[in-house]
Amino acid sequence: MVANQTQASRSGDSLEPLAVAEFTPADLPDLNGRTIVITGGDGGLGKETSSALAHAGASVIIACRNLDRARAALDDISAAATAAKPVLVHLDLADLESIRACSDEIAEHTSSVDVLINNAGVMAVPYRTTKDGFESQIGINHLGPFALTGHLLPLLLASSGSRVVTLSSLMHQQAKLDVDDLDYQRRRYFRINAYAQSKLANLLFSRALASRFDRAGSNARSIAVHPGAAATDLFDPIVPTLGLRRMMRQIVALTAKSAEEGAYSTLYAAAMPDARNDDYLGPAEFGGVRGPVRRCPRSAQAADTVLAEALWERSVELTGVDYTAIS
């Protein structure tokens, strides 16, 4: 507890208790009439999140790269829905043109977006680049969501009290982010380091966006979350062989939260009334691996507003998305 308080003080985060101490999806308010866009909502944490939101009455728009896989998941999510049936749109976060096209397609379905959940991502993959030449993890995990949020900003601002929820990770605490070398052209590439950098970028983006909402006098909220250690297939790229993967999955199943529990922090951020602008939510027990949803400390680097602004400007430069709609 002392270490957490020290870190919280260093980062400037308030760790005031949440209104619901033992949150589960049963605590979600009625979301009928709310439109929620979620990336990667066809599997793992995203599918669990989509199902719970649809069950609470939300109109869920699921943005996915693999529509064949998504259509299979859609049956399960539709079965959970209590109001509008979820819809699919195509999104490849490794392609800026696909991101622009996706935002246009979303605009055909709705005149406003109440919540955008930046959930999709990759973890610890070998070095490769996106269609636009970015290292894939910073491209898919940060620059893609940065561009998508910017393109959807007019729809988000058309809703009263909209929210942008961005998934980070405990791994952000191990990261070192170099704004001038996001693509690892000057540094040796270690894929877990690149993943950690992208998750730190998520927190810096969320804080910089929250700051812009505040300065504009907007009642929109930017909230970051982490799932703890959740039992999904995201760990597979770290483990080279099928046998070891099976062993890893067994270990994770014994020690980590289920995918359903891993979605709790995202659900809280997306729907609960007391989730605040610039919050960082997730489990906080056992070093953040497990436990109920809490306000969590972030690393000193993740709270660095100068670094956040430098990353923001670099992201605008790389993506061409400038967020002028906020002002």
Q: For residue 270, give the CATH number of its domain.
A: 3.40.50.720
How many domains does the chain divide into? 1
pLDDT at 235: 47
Size of the chain, expressed as the number of residues it contains: 327
Residue-wise pLDDT tens digits, 25-45: 999 999 999 999 999 999 999
Query: What average pLDDT does the structure give for the chain?
Result: 90
What is the DSSP pairing of strand 280-285 with strand 221-225?
parallel
pLDDT at 251: 44
**Residue 201 pLDDT > 60:** yes
pLDDT at 248: 44
**Residue 140 pLDDT > 50:** yes
Residue-wise pLDDT tens digits, 73-109: 999 999 999 999 999 999 999 999 999 999 999 999 9
Question: Is 323 a domain residue?
Answer: no
Question: Is 196 a domain residue?
Answer: yes
Taken in order 173, 176, 182, 188, the sign of the CA dihedral is negative
CA-to-CA distance for 160 and 244, rounded, in angstroms? 48
Question: Is 212 a domain residue?
Answer: yes
| SS3 call for 28 | coil
- Residue range(s) defining the domain that contains residue 34: 2-11+28-315
CA-to-CA distance for 284 and 277, rounded, in angstroms? 19
pLDDT band at 185 (very low <50, low <70, confident <90, very high): very high
Residue type for position 293 = V
pLDDT at 147: 98
Is the separation of the CB atoms in 77 and 47 below 8 Å? Answer: yes
Residues belonging to the active site: 195
Question: Is 326 a domain residue?
Answer: no
Residues contacting 23, CB < 8 A, separation 6+: 264, 267, 268, 272, 292, 293
